[in-house]
Amino acid sequence: MEITIMKNILDRNNNKADEVRELLSKKNVLMVNIISSPGAGKTTLLERTIEKIGSDIRVGVIEGDVATDRDAQRLKRFNIPLVVINTEGGCHLDSHSISKVLPLFDLDRLDILFVENVGNLICPSQFDLGEAFKLAVVSTAEGDDKPAKYPMLFRDAEAVLLNKTDLLPYTSFRIDNFRSDLGKINAGIPVFEVSCTQGYGLDSWYRWITGQLSSSGRSA
């Protein structure tokens, strides 16, 4: 009974996701669905990325949060198109909420639309928002066992950003364990080892994300 209901909701979500994807494709906007545990560094990644590529590429952000607009407050200084979706307790964004806020953006003047999903390593991975792809962010402080223990996101993601590498000397995280588990779930997936607070390792991420823009036929 519960499973049937869930399937209906998911089907309805998928239909709307296709509409969103079609619209964004027509407008040449690359939408990236960023998913992680709470506090893995999604907002700091956005701050760094907008600082670096924001003058050449027109970036917009949708901030998904259970409560507060604190993440959006951190991004206000960039003067970019920015919308907050407050889920009021909801554990993920869905394509309907994305569809509702898209008219608030001028899609003709946008190259990338980053969606910072609600901080949750499980539920958001089950909802297609109409994105071009999902980006998984994981912090070294969470432990190297996360791909094995939460495989759904890592199976679906187009790339993984391993954040907080500056904390590696103070944790028991082993990158070989992490990469080995990840390889069994999603062989060949690009992994960027970075520290967003310290600014380490981000150049290859910047190159990759802007490359996604040009490879999908959008102007960079």
Binding residues (CB under 8 A) for a second copy: these are 2, 5, 9, 37-40, 65-68, 70, 89, 91, 118-123, 126, 139, 141-143, 145-146, 148-152, 164, 166-167, 170-172, 197
CB of 161 to a second copy, least distance (A): 15
CB-wise, 111 or 142, nearer to a second copy?
A: 142
CB of 52 to a second copy, least distance (A): 20
CB-wise, 91 or 107, nearer to a second copy?
A: 91
What is the rounded CA–CA span in Å between residue 40 and residue 153? 14
Identity at 197, one-letter amino acid code: T
Contact by Cβ (8 Å): 92, 6: no
CB-wise, 58 or 146, nearer to a second copy?
A: 146
CB of 126 to a second copy, least distance (A): 8
Residue 176's SS3 state is helix
For 94-162, the DSSP string reads: -HHHHHHHGGGS-GGG-SEEEEE--S-SSGGGG---S-SEEEEEEEGGG-TTHHHHSHHHHHH-SEEEE
Residue 31's SS3 state is strand
CB of 30 to a second copy, least distance (A): 27
What is the rounded CA–CA span in Å between residue 93 and residue 180? 30
CB-wise, 111 or 116, nearer to a second copy?
A: 116
Tell which residue, 14, 119, 131, 111, has the closest CA to residue 63: 119
What is the rounded CA–CA span in Å between residue 128 and residue 94? 7
CB-wise, 112 or 191, nearer to a second copy?
A: 191
CB of 1 to a second copy, least distance (A): 9
Counting other chains too, the contacts that 52-55 makes at CB distance below 8 Å and 24 or more residues apart are 52/202, 52/206, 53/206, 53/209, 53/210, 54/78, 54/80
CB of 96 to a second copy, least distance (A): 11
CB-wise, 68 or 214, nearer to a second copy?
A: 68
